[in-house]
Chain A
Amino acid sequence: MACIEARGLRKSFGTTIALDGIDLRVEEGRILGLIGPNGAGKTTALNAILGLIPYQGELNVLGRNPWTERNRLMQDACFISDVAVLPRWMRVSQALDYVAGVHPRFDRAKAEGFLTKTTIRHGSRVRELSKGMVTQLHLALVMAIDARLLVLDEPTLGLDILYRKQFYDSLLNDYLDRNRTILVATHQVEEIQHVLTDVMFIDRGRIVFNRSMEEVESRYLEVIVHPEKVAVARALKPMHERQAIGRSVMLFDGAERQQLAALGDLRKPSIADLFVAVLGVCRAIPPARRKE
């Protein structure tokens, strides 16, 4: 069953088009990384999926229309958005009480278990906690909810590297199972790369790249080209070329591995390199032609 299904999803704010007709299908149990530059439409797409903004087009999340059934959808979906949004006046114990009171799938003991691993005290108010601790608290609340869909929008923004690593580690160790779908939007690509099963690039309101990680690993290869073989390599039409420490690094899509091995050292491209290459390709084509 598809967890999220969108057809022709559009959203504009005044004259700015934030989502320009997105088609999307996310199967249950996938971990999809939504990657794009600032202002690409990531947050808009997630907000539409979560029923926070009205949109045009068809959208179905866990069998529901998110805009008209937001409160029912939230029994099975939960989200952490880009900034710390926990109310600053709230005490940790109040947050636990409240979520336990209104959420049918909240396991309070589990949340308390997560909190004991941190230095957060029950009597503290959110405003007294550091930014990292607020995120830990929010994560503890969300991970104790037995949801089918978890949406994270820049969840580690503004956190130091220790907290960021901890965040994804606890996500991996304590939360993942095959029935859960996770959607992560970020532009800090490297740290979620190893978690994902699928990756999607979004630019200027359109999906420009949508592959499973297996596909990415089998199709794309990067070659650090020997200086004397640059011309030969260019003839094979790399999708992207950049200079690194005085040598050409070329990214190939679906080229023969043996053929490339003769040109220089092979390596797996990182998602970040792929992202730069894909965006470079689609931005090189003028928007008028892209429509065709």
Chain B
Amino acid sequence: MNAQANAMAESAVESQVRAPAHIPATRHLYWSVRRELWENRSIYLAPLAAAALFVLGFAISVVRLPGQMRAAAALDPIHQREAIAMPFDIVAGLLMITAMIVGAFYCLDALYGERRDRSTLFWKSLPVSDLTTVLAKTSIPLVILPLVTFAITAVTQFIMLMVSSAVLVGSGQSVATLWSQLSFFRMSLLLLYHLVTVHALWPAPLYAWLLLVSAWARRAPFVWAFLPPLAICYLEKIAFNTAHFLALLQHRLEGSGMEALIVSGTFPMDPMTQLTPGRFLSAPGLWIGLAVTAAFLAAAVRLRRYRGPI
């Protein structure tokens, strides 16, 4: 009797020890994303470096600002705005390009590098699913990089605005024109909208393609990422003398034809810009792109399961 009770108590203790074995999927995702940021510090260091460089250049050029403001005062409102806002637009564009380059190189290495250095054996020895891993890696170009770009751009532009104001006040000019032409809050809102639409949702299939290649390639993922699309363009040109595929790629890359803005060709932070989120969300191109993204990612998840270290 006593022994039986002991045995029962023992097994109860054992099952208690073994029971709390669940970690929610969100926590796996959180740590997987953190691990990506540990490994790829360029995700935030590259935009930070680009911003720092730009601010340095801006700080030197700002000595000419009082003269420029005086000249701008003579212009009509539209040109006045252009003259004043130009450096702010340039820094945003610079950071966006930096983020795109970082994102592309990140994706190409994301599922290839871990197989090359065999660390995939370590990652796979932990209870994190292939799906979680691939989703975490996808979130870098589609969520983390746009957010990082937004934060760094907003802070940079704020610093630039402060420096400009200080210089203008120092030279005895009014800051009214500057502040009325650059509505900081609206500028940031437009930037965020632009990043989410043009830099995340619309080009998502391109990033997913890079991830797929990086999961598949046994060597030279860079070549495999660019050679097949090139071959298709070339083949299409020879066979039908058309360039539909090339146009398709261009549309994705440039974000044109995505109907997120009403005035095409203007810079997104232009106050004249009209946001058209309704048209953007109802554009078939967006949804086709997202479907392709999902298909590429599903293939990448499957490949990660099959592929061992190289």
Enumerate chain A interface residues (CB-CB to B < 8 A): 47, 50-54, 70-76, 78-81, 83, 85-91, 94, 97-99, 101-105, 138, 146, 179
Q: A75-B21, A98-B31 are in contact. Are A103 and B121 (CB under 8 A)?
A: no
Q: Is B118 an interface residue (CB 8 A)?
A: yes
Contact present for A52 and B124 (CB under 8 Å): yes
Contact present for B119 and A102 (CB under 8 Å): no
Q: Is B122 an interface residue (CB 8 A)?
A: yes
Contact present for B35 and A98 (CB under 8 Å): yes
Q: Is B23 an interface residue (CB 8 A)?
A: yes
Q: A85-B118, A102-B28 are in contact. Are A90 and B17 (CB under 8 A)?
A: no
Q: Is B127 an interface residue (CB 8 A)?
A: yes
B21 contacts which chain A residues (CB < 8 A)? 75-76, 104-105
B28 contacts which chain A residues (CB < 8 A)? 102
Q: A94 vs B226: C-alpha distance in the bound complex, in angstroms?
A: 35
Contact present for B125 and A74 (CB under 8 Å): yes
Which 5 residue pairs of A and B lie closest in terms of their CB atoms, listed nearest first?
A: A101-B31, A87-B119, A71-B129, A74-B127, A85-B121
For window 74-132 of chain B, which residues contact chain A by CB distance below 8 Å? 114, 117-122, 124-130, 132
Q: A250 vs B262: C-alpha distance in the bound complex, in angstroms?
A: 91
Q: Closest CB of chain A to B88's CB: distance in Å?
A: 36
Q: A280 vs B118: C-alpha distance in the bound complex, in angstroms?
A: 35
Q: Is B27 an interface residue (CB 8 A)?
A: yes
A85 contacts which chain B residues (CB < 8 A)? 118-122, 309
Contact present for A87 and B117 (CB under 8 Å): yes
Q: A79 vs B38: C-alpha distance in the bound complex, in angstroms?
A: 23
Given A70-B305, A87-B114: 15 more A-B contacts, CB < 8 Å: A47-B308, A51-B124, A54-B306, A70-B124, A71-B132, A72-B127, A73-B127, A74-B127, A86-B122, A87-B39, A97-B31, A98-B35, A102-B127, A103-B127, A105-B21
- Place the interface of chain B in its size category: 20 to 34
Q: A86 vs B125: C-alpha distance in the bound complex, in angstroms?
A: 11
Q: Closest CB of chain B to A127's CB: distance in Å?
A: 10
B17 contacts which chain A residues (CB < 8 A)? 146
A94 contacts which chain B residues (CB < 8 A)? 35, 38
Q: A55 vs B171: C-alpha distance in the bound complex, in angstroms?
A: 77
Q: List 22 A-B contacts (CB under 8 A).
A: A50-B124, A53-B308, A74-B124, A74-B127, A75-B127, A81-B121, A81-B125, A89-B39, A90-B39, A94-B38, A97-B31, A97-B34, A98-B31, A102-B23, A102-B27, A102-B31, A102-B32, A103-B23, A103-B126, A104-B22, A138-B122, A146-B17
A88 contacts which chain B residues (CB < 8 A)? 117, 119
Q: Closest CB of chain A to B299's CB: distance in Å?
A: 16
B265 contacts which chain A residues (CB < 8 A)? none
Contact present for A104 and B23 (CB under 8 Å): yes
